[in-house]
Amino acid sequence: MARVLVTERIAQRGLDCLTDAGHDVDVREGLRDDELLGAVKDVQALVVRSATNVSAAVLAAGTDLVVVGRAGVGLDNVDVAAATERGVMVVNAPTSNILSVAEHAMALLLAQARNIPQAHAALVAGRWERSRWEGIELYGKVLGIVGLGRAGSLVAQRALGFGMRLLAFDPYVTPERARAMGVELRSLEEVFAEADFVTIHTPKTPETIGLVGRELLAKAKPGIRIVNTARGRIVDEEALAEAIEAGIVGGAALDVFAHEPPGDSPLFASDSVVVTPHLGASTEEAQDKAGVSVAEQVCLALAGDFVPFAVNIAASDVSEAVRPFMGIAAQLGRFFACMHRGLPDRLVIECRGELAGHSTGILTLAALKGLFAASSEEQVTYVNARQLAAERGLSVEETSAATSPFYKSLLTLRSDCHAVAGTLAGAGARPEPRVVMVDDHTLEIPPAEHMLLVHNDDRPGMIGVVGMALGIAGISISSMAVGPSADGHTALMVLSTSEPVPADIVEQMRDGEGIFGVHVVSL
C-alpha cells in the first residue's frame, strides 16, 4: 500500500481505481505552494491536473515520491527534468482528451467561419444584424493542419467530411501516411501561403514557442483564419493582433493563451476573434478518461510494472514484439546479480534474433531494474536505473545480432566472469519465460522464486550428492536442468527449490568434493 496525494479534482472512477488497488488516497484541493511542500512528505504518488506547480522544490520535498501523475496531456506545470534527475516517474493521460480537443477545434472552425458568437451577442443585445455577420462555407476551402498527431489526425478526418482540401506540416509524418489520410504534406510557409484556415495541434516545446509569429504571418495568404487549441505561446498573440488589424489575417479562434487567464488581451478588441477559456479538454467524457487513465498509470508505477505513458522514459515506443520480454529481462537482471558477490564493472546486454529488429532500450532498463533491485536497498525504477548504473560505475553496453541459431529471440546478460540468457517459449498471448544458458552451459528451466546453481565436476553421482543434501534439509526440488560445459569436463546444475536453501547447506555443498561453486538465486 502507498500514500497517494491528489491535489485537484479528478473523476471519481480514478479515485476508486487507486483505492481499489489498496492505496491510501488523500484528496487535498487548493493547496498553496508552501502547503504542498509539507503535504508531499511521506507520499509515494502525487496526482495533479494543471493548477498544481510540481516544481523542483516540491520534488525535493517529496523524498519518497515514486511517480507524479498528470490527469491530462500538457506538462507545463511539472518539472520533468528535475523529476528524472531524482528518479521520479512522470506519467500523463495523452489519449484522454484528443477527441474532445478535435471536436472543439472543429467547433471553433465553424464558429469562426459563421461568426456564431458575434451574432449571438448582437441578437441577445437586441440587434438583428444578418448582413453584418455573413459567413463563409467550409466546403472547398483549404485547411492547413500544423501537427498531424492524434488530435490533428482526428481533425483531418472530420474536415474531409466537410469537403475541405487538407494540407499539413509535420516533419515526423511520412508522405505515405499523410496520403493515406487524404492530406498533402507541405512546408510550414507553404501551408500558411495556401490555406484559408489553419489549425494548430503541436506540443509546446522550445522549437514551437512563437512558431506562428510576425515573419510567418507576413507570408500568409490574405484573409487566412487561424485556430489554436494546442498550447499558448505557440501563436504570438501580439503579432496575430497586428496581422488582424492590418487585414493580413481574416480572423482567429483561440482556446489557449500565453497567460491563463489572459487578462486584457489585444485580441479581445477585434470582432474577428472567437475565444474560449481553455475548454478543449473540458468535457465530462475527457475528464473521466483522464482521471481513470492517470490512476491506472500511477498504480502500474507503484507496483513496479511497465508504464506505457511514462513521459521520462521511452515507454510509449515499446513494440508489441519487445514488451513480453520485459519480465524475463528483469528476472535475468536479478539472476545475474545473485551470481556476483558485488556489482560487476561491466554489463553487456545482447539481443539476438527477432528482438534485434526493434528498439530494445526498455529491456536494458528492465534488466538494470532487476539487477539493482536484487543488489541494492535503494528504490529502483525505469527512470533512475541508468542513473544508478552511472553512479555505481557500471559500464552498460548494448549489442544486437539478427541471427540466433536456436531461438527466435534470445536475451543475454554478460559480465567478465558470468553470463545468463533467456527467451520466451510457446506461442499465444502468454509465452513462458525460460533460462536457457548460464555461464555458457546450455540448459532450459523456468525461472522460479528460489533457485540454486551448482558448478561441479562432470562425473557420475554429482546429482545425487546435491539431491541428498537438499533432501536431508527437507527441501524439495521443483525442477532441475543440467548443462555440460563445451569441453565436457564440468557441468552446471540449476535447480528450483520449494524454499530458500539455508546458508549452512550452501556452505556444506561448497566444501564437497567435485563442487567448484554454488550460488543461491532469489527471483
Q: What is the pLDDT of residue 425?
A: 87
DSSP secondary structure letters along 266-297: GGGG-TTEEE-SS-TT-SHHHHHHHHHHHHHH
C-alpha cell at position 488: 565436457
pLDDT band at 427 (very low <50, low <70, confident <90, very high): low
Q: Where are the domains of the chain?
A: 3-95+285-302, 98-275, 318-438, 448-523
CA end-to-end span of the chain, whole Å?
21
CA–centroid distance for 302 within its chain: 15
C-alpha cell at position 138: 467550409
What is the CATH code for 98-275?
A: 3.40.50.720
Query: CA dist 298 to 306, 309, 336, Å?
Result: 11, 10, 29
Catalytic residue among 70, 201, 231, 441: 231
Of 394, 424, 403, nearest in space to 331 by CA: 424
CA–centroid distance for 236 within its chain: 30
- Taking 80 as the threshold, does the pLDDT of residue 434 lie above it? yes
CA–centroid distance for 25 within its chain: 23
- Taking 70 as the threshold, does the pLDDT of residue 455 lie above it? yes
Whole-model pTM: value is: 0.64
CATH 3.40.50.720 fits 3-95+285-302, yes or no: yes
DSSP H helices, 88-234, are 98-114, 116-124, 150-161, 175-180, 188-194, 214-218
Q: Which residue has the higher pLDDT, 243 or 514?
A: 243
Give tens-digit pLDDT for 355-413: 888 888 889 888 998 888 776 666 677 777 887 788 788 899 999 898 888 899 999 99
Q: What is the pLDDT of residue 143?
A: 98
Amino acid at position 489, single letter: H
Q: How far apart are CA 438 and CA 250, in angstroms?
A: 71
Residue with cell 529491456: 363
Amino acid at position 353, single letter: G
- Taking 80 as the threshold, does the pLDDT of residue 2 lie above it? yes
Give tens-digit pLDDT for 164-175: 999 999 988 889
User: Of the CATH numbers 1.10.600.10, 3.30.70.260, 3.40.50.620, 3.60.10.10, which one belongs to the domain with range 448-523?
Assistant: 3.30.70.260
- Contacts with 93 (C-beta within 8 Å, 6 or more apart), sequence order: 70, 71, 72, 73, 289, 290, 293, 294, 297, 309
CA–centroid distance for 365 within its chain: 13
Q: How far apart are CA 98 and CA 92, in angstroms?
A: 13
Q: Percent of the chain beyond pLDDT 70?
A: 98
318-438 has the same fold as 98-275? no
What CATH topology corresponds to 318-438? 60s Ribosomal Protein L30; Chain: A; (3.30.1330)
Q: How far apart are CA 117 and CA 66, in angstroms?
A: 46
Catalytic residue among 260, 391, 499, 507: 260
Catalytic residue among 49, 70, 201, 278: 278
Active site residue 278: yes
- Beta strands in 38-100, from DSSP E residues, in sequence order: 45-48, 67-70, 89-92
Give tens-digit pLDDT for 299-347: 998 987 778 778 887 555 577 788 888 889 999 999 998 888 778 889 9
Active site residue 358: no
H/E element, 14: helix 12-20
Active site residue 231: yes
